[in-house]
């Protein structure tokens, strides 16, 4: 296996050994590189990561402008912050384990690659650290935003307000020119890397500290004093941006607000005018809570708190209000926002609830975010290392601690990863070629039809798992699947399963069962399908029928299906199901996502390439967590539907647009059979528009999912129109009768 390291680290070590390079606190760099990084490079060989449902983007900007797509953590390497203390270097193992935990972003809070002191020369140690990080990220498959903490005229001590702080960047034109040159060098060096998705110009610009703090001025008053001077951050950010754009027109740029990237200082932040710039802040508010020292954890979340002499009700409403300057800025200028740092000491009371509410707000506003910090600070301080849990005396990872589990839960929602990482499971690519495809759930499938399917050009076939029917337990399903797998054109064979309704003809159905017996049978099918009953699918008894020993999933895997095709995912919208969910105080949408995940995990535990297609409920594609679980979405009746039990068998057109729904003009176009379906079933699909389905399907498609459409029509003109229209959208169409019990030639 390839060794993942850059030859520049060898150069840096050689220069040090020969005494040709020297740094230290004055220029902000350590003159020692820990042997641990060299040992890590030579001994740690990680296995490639397999990411379920991973997808990529062609334009890096798309990662920043379509809701929350990036969730990760801050890393920073060995870096002096006083005469004695050096943060631990970041290693390949750290990067790999962060990516393996589900994060898709590294906030590389790194020393700049030009020295702090004049003549601001290139620093080979800093370049080596950055080269290594980016090389590792490219091999592992995780995005990187380069954040420079230090550089010409600004050292680490300035951020921490320690002795020896250098803040000459705000007064020295030479230092500012050095900063521009440093970013040009970096943009030219890394701009073509597929994993480098952003340049943060300066971590926590503190130009405001050049104004006398004793004046106790508001941000607007401070900015009035800075405007037009070398310490005008708005002006310097524009200059650095222009310098970068001379060599790199594409990589997004990030600009922090002043005063440690405070949300409140967005009131004086100005857009640079660059159309590919994100605006960033850090939040540890209120500091009296997040930075409580060991043994002094008196403030809880939520709580009533004294903060700078003001009593606040410290809860999610307060957190939301605290973010409003950023929200207002984003809306006013129509720009994306990034939360570059956030967190709390791992021992503060209520930390998990605090982080959960924070990240919920970030997701609500569609912001990307990275928590502070993933490892890398144990020599200095491990208060923010959430792997270690809430016990201050513990200095090693604690499995299952609540806050770390919360971060892992958030990272599980990630579906966007660099294309340079290890290949995804291959399922999506497999399904991209699954056209034409056949959907046939005839419970009396005979050998003649099986032979027709095997001889056809169909690439994918959806069949009922016939042995799960009480009257067909001896059906030779395994031999049928084997015949389709070994056909001249081999088929992907998926098992049709109804996960949101109980069916009274399945092997699990017991005498005496009906609505309310057992309690999780919620009601009757709203569209009139006899023998089908919506269920409260979160009940253990229902899930055990599928996942328990001898259950339906075991049978599906045993006979050789390549995956599952899930029907009635939309059960969360059924009124009888909603009633039980309210009674049980659960969120039926979230419970359905978890239910699909349980089924998928069961299948993939035995077969890593096990496919999962979700039928209907395309609106769930707005949840990245759901997208990460499935391989594709299939949507019925996008343009034409029929009725229960094949009455009518099809050719009932849906309203094309939202405006046509419930209009007499639309109703008058329906045939008598379709009009009866429309009038008798007010919750049926004839009261939904094609427009709304397509809108949801395009969202799913944009997130990398393959889209399959199923329409019900027998009129040749309608069939031809559906195939042409669906394929023009990049979808995979199939048209049949409403019972789906006919073999349709490709």
pLDDT confidence of 223, banded at 50, 70, 90? very high
Task: Tell me the percentage of the chain whose pLDDT exceeds 70.
Answer: 90
Report d(CA 145, CA 263) in Å as an integer: 20
pLDDT confidence bin for 52, thresholds 50/70/90: low
Predicted pLDDT of residue 96: 93
Q: What pLDDT was estimated at residue 37?
A: 37
Residue 656, exposed/middle/buried by CB under 10 A (0-12, 13-18, 19+)?
A: middle
Average pLDDT (130-139) is 90
Q: How confident is the model at residue 651 (pLDDT cuts 50, 70, 90)?
A: very high
* Positive/negative CA dihedral, 302, 304, 306, 307: positive
| Confidence band of 26 (pLDDT split at 50, 70, 90) | very low
Query: Helix axis angle, 124-140 relative to 8-17, nearest 10°?
Result: 150
pLDDT digit string (tens) for 554-598?
A: 999 999 999 999 999 999 999 999 999 999 999 999 999 999 999
Percent helix / strand / coil, the chain, rounded to 5: 40, 15, 45
Q: Which of 614, 485, 499 is nearest to 560 (CA)?
A: 485
Q: Is the pLDDT score of 736 beyond 60?
A: yes
pLDDT tens readout for residues 258-314: 999 999 999 999 999 999 999 999 999 999 999 998 877 789 999 888 877 788 899
On the question of pLDDT at 20 being above 50, the answer is: no
**Tens of pLDDT, residues 306-355:** 877 788 899 999 999 999 999 999 999 999 999 999 999 999 999 999 99
Residue 198 β-bridge partners:
145
Residue 376 confidence (pLDDT): 58
Confidence of residue 420 (pLDDT cuts 50, 70, 90): low
Q: Distance between CA 484 and CA 381 in Å, rounded? A: 60
Q: For residue 683, what pLDDT is reported?
A: 77
Q: What whole-number percentage of the chain has pLDDT above 90?
A: 68
Condensed to tens digits (0 to 9), the pLDDT of residues 33-49 reads 333 333 344 467 777 88
Q: Which residues lie below 8 Å from residue 173, measured CB to CB, with a gap of 6+?
A: 230
* pLDDT tier, 171 (very low <50, low <70, confident <90, very high otherwise): very high
Q: Give the residues across from 281 on adjacent strands.
A: 339
Residue 78: what pLDDT? 56
Name 625's Cβ contacts closer than 8 Å, sequence gap at least 6: 412, 413, 593
pLDDT, averaged across the chain? 87
pLDDT band at 377 (very low <50, low <70, confident <90, very high): low
DSSP string, 179-235: HHHHHHHHHHHHTT-SSEEEEES-SS--GGGGS-GGG---HHHHHHHHTTSTT-HHH
C-alpha span between 283 and 289 (Å, rounded): 12
Answer whether 16's CB lies under 8 Å from 377's CB: no
Q: What are phi and psi of 217, to 5 degrees?
A: -90, 155
Least confident piece of the model among 523-527, 650-654, 668-672: 523-527
Q: What is the C-alpha separation between 505 and 507, in angstroms, rounded?
A: 7
Alpha carbons 746 and 741: distance in angstroms, whole number: 15
Region 395-415: mean pLDDT is 89
pLDDT of residue 25: 30
Q: What is the mean pLDDT of residues 12-21?
A: 32
Instruction: State the pLDDT at residue 44.
Output: 73
For the ranges 80-89, 378-387, 723-732, the maximum mean pLDDT occurs at 723-732
The pLDDT of residue 396: 85
């Amino acid at each position: 296996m390839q060794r993942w390291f850059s030859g520049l680290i060898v150069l840096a070590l050689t220069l040090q050994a020969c005494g040709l390079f020297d740094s230290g606190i004055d220029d902000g760099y350590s003159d020692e590189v820990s042997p641990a990084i060299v040992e890590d490079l030579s001994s740690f060989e990680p296995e490639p990561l397999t990411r379920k449902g991973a997808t990529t983007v062609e334009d890096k900007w798309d990662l920043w402008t379509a809701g929350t797509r990036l969730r990760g953590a801050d890393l920073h390497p060995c870096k002096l912050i006083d005469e004695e203390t050096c943060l631990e270097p970041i290693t390949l193992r750290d990067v790999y384990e962060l990516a393996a935990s589900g994060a898709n972003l590294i906030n590389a809070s790194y020393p700049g690659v030009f020295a702090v002191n004049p003549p601001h020369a290139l620093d080979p140690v800093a370049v080596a650290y950055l080269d290594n990080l980016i090389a590792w990220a490219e091999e592992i498959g995780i995005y990187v935003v380069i954040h420079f903490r230090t550089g010409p005229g600004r050292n680490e001590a300035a951020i921490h307000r320690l002795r020896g702080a250098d803040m000459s960047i705000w007064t020295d034109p030479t230092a500012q020119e050095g900063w521009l040159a440093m970013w040009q060098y970096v943009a030219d060096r890394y701009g073509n890397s597929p994993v480098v998705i952003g340049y943060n110009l300066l971590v926590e610009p503190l130009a405001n500290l050049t104004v006398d703090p004793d004046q106790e001025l508001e941000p607007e008053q401070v900015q009035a004093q800075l405007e037009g001077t070398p310490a005008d951050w708005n002006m310097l950010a524009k200059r650095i941006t222009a310098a970068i754009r001379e060599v790199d027109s594409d990589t997004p740029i990030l600009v922090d607000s002043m005063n440690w990237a405070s949300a409140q200082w967005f009131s004086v932040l100005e857009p640079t005018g660059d159309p590919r710039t994100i605006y960033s802040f850090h939040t540890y508010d209120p500091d009296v809570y997040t930075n409580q020292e060991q043994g002094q954890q008196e403030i809880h979340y939520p709580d009533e708190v004294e903060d700078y002499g003001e009593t606040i009700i410290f809860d999610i409403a307060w957190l939301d209000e605290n973010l409003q300057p950023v929200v207002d800025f984003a809306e006013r200028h129509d720009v994306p926002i990034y939360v570059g740092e956030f967190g709390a000491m791992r021992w503060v009371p209520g930390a998990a609830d605090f982080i959960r509410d924070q990240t919920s707000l970030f997701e609500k506003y569609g912001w990307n975010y990275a928590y502070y910090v993933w490892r890398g600070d144990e020599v200095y301080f491990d208060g923010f290392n959430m792997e270690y849990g809430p016990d201050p005396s513990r200095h090693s990872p604690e499995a299952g601690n609540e806050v770390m589990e919360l971060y892992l839960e958030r990272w599980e929602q990630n579906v966007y990863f660099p294309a340079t990482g290890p290949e995804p499971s291959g399922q999506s690519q497999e399904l991209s070629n699954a056209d034409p495809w056949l959907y046939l759930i005839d419970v009396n499938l005979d050998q003649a039809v099986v032979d027709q399917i095997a001889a056809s050009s169909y690439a994918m076939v959806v069949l009922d798992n016939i042995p799960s029917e009480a009257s067909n337990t001896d059906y030779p399903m395994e031999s049928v699947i084997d015949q389709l797998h070994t056909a001249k054109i081999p088929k992907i064979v998926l098992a049709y399963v109804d996960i949101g309704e109980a069916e009274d003809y399945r092997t699990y159905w017991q005498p005496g069962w009906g609505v309310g017996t057992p309690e999780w049978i919620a009601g009757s099918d709203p569209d009139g399908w006899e023998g089908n009953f919506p269920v409260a699918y979160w009940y253990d008894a229902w899930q055990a029928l599928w996942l328990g020993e001898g259950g339906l999933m075991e049978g599906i895997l045993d006979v050789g299906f390549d995956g599952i095709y899930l029907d009635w995912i939309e059960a969360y919208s059924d009124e009888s199901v909603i009633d039980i969910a309210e009674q049980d105080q659960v969120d039926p949408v979230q419970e359905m996502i978890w239910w699909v995940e349980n089924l998928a995990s069961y299948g993939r535990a035995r077969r890593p390439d096990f496919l999962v297609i979700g039928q209907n409920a395309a609106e769930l594609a707005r949840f990245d967590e759901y997208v990460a679980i499935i391989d594709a979405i299939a949507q019925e009746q996008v343009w034409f539907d029929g009725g229960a039990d094949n009455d009518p068998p099809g050719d009932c057109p849906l309203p094309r647009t939202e405006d046509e729904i419930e209009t007499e003009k639309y109703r008058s176009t329906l045939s008598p059979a379709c009009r009866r379906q429309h009038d008798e079933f007010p919750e049926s699909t004839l009261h939904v528009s094609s427009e709304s389905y397509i809108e949801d399907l395009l969202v799913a498609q944009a997130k990398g999912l393959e889209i399959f459409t199923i329409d019900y029509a027998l009129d040749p003109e309608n069939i031809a129109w559906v195939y042409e229209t669906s394929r023009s959208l990049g979808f995979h169409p199939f048209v049949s009768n409403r019972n789906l019990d006919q073999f349709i030639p490709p």
